[in-house]
Amino acid sequence: MMAEFSDSFPMVTVAVPCLNHGRFLEKALTSIFGQDISVEVMLADGGSTDNTPGVIEKWRNRLSWWRSHPDAGQAAAINEAISRGSAPFVCWLNADDFYLEGGLAHLLDGLQRHPEAPVVYGRSWNTNEQGVPMRAYWTGPFSEWHLSQRCFISQPATLIRRQVWESVGGLDEHLCLAMDYDLWWKIARRYGPLYYLSDFVAANRVYGQTKTSSLRRSHWLEAMSVVKRYTGRVPLKWYLLWPWSVWFKSAWHIQRI
């Protein structure tokens, strides 16, 4: 049974970073405001030149805060947006991702039922550019060993206690590709295991223009630097899978564009 939540004040601050993702932003905002809980949405646009301003104008009366101008990057935008809110639980949803029906309520219920957990994370679908599910993002119960092998936590399927977020300083603004991976390590080292929820709660678009797909070498190197920071070494797996994850996948995406 799901817990009941009050509508008298926002329970979750949702930060939405955006830069020229107007074609996806409508779906992202619709999925947030369609949740069964009270939210405050903080939209940080980096000065988009596509149709993003028009989408923001359409939704501005429902946004708790928004701005549109060049900024210091995605991590800084997310930190700024979350700092503008006051809800006891926080998360961010990239403008090209979206929540599944009831997804946030499941995550919130998980945190409220497990007061010892600093973060709850669920399952998500990897979808194509049109939002059609292709495969499930690989995840499972938390362990530091698994986290050292790969980032098995799907960022759009997470919810964090605000006090935890603030105590670890939010995202590292020096990172631009693996800042979520770094955040899970920071939190786990200070607070212990993150709580795994087996429900599907969100969708993550996978297409050639995402930073993850178009900057695979840089993403891999940044993730390796993160795991070395927290464990003192880079597990052999990272080197063994380098050709597949960096070169072969990059070539596959180029062929499909």
Helix, strand or coil for residue 140?
coil
Q: For residues 24 and 16, what is the distance between their CA atoms, to the nearest angstrom?
A: 12
> Domains in the chain, start-ordered, CATH in brackets?
12-256 (3.90.550.10)
The one-letter amino acid at 162: R
The rounded mean pLDDT for the chain is: 90
Angle of helix 216-231 relative to helix 179-191, nearest 10 degrees, comes to: 20
Q: What is the pLDDT of residues 2-39, one digit of tens each?
A: 333 445 678 999 999 999 999 999 999 999 999 999 99
The whole-model pTM stands at 0.90
Q: How many helices (H) and strands (E) does the chain have?
A: 12, 9
* Nearest CA among 216, 147, 150 for reference residue 187: 147
Tokens of 88: 């006891």
Helix, strand or coil for residue 34?
coil
Q: For residues 145 and 231, what is the distance between their CA atoms, to the nearest angstrom?
A: 10
Low-confidence ranges of the chain (pLDDT < 50): 1-6, 213-214, 247-248, 250-257
Instruction: Please give the torsion angle defined by the CA atoms of residues 93, 225, 184 and 45, in that order, rounded to the nearest 10 degrees.
Output: -20
pLDDT (0 to 100) of residue 211: 56
If you search the block for the tokens 């309520």, which residue do you land on?
A: 105
Tokens of 257: 């564009």
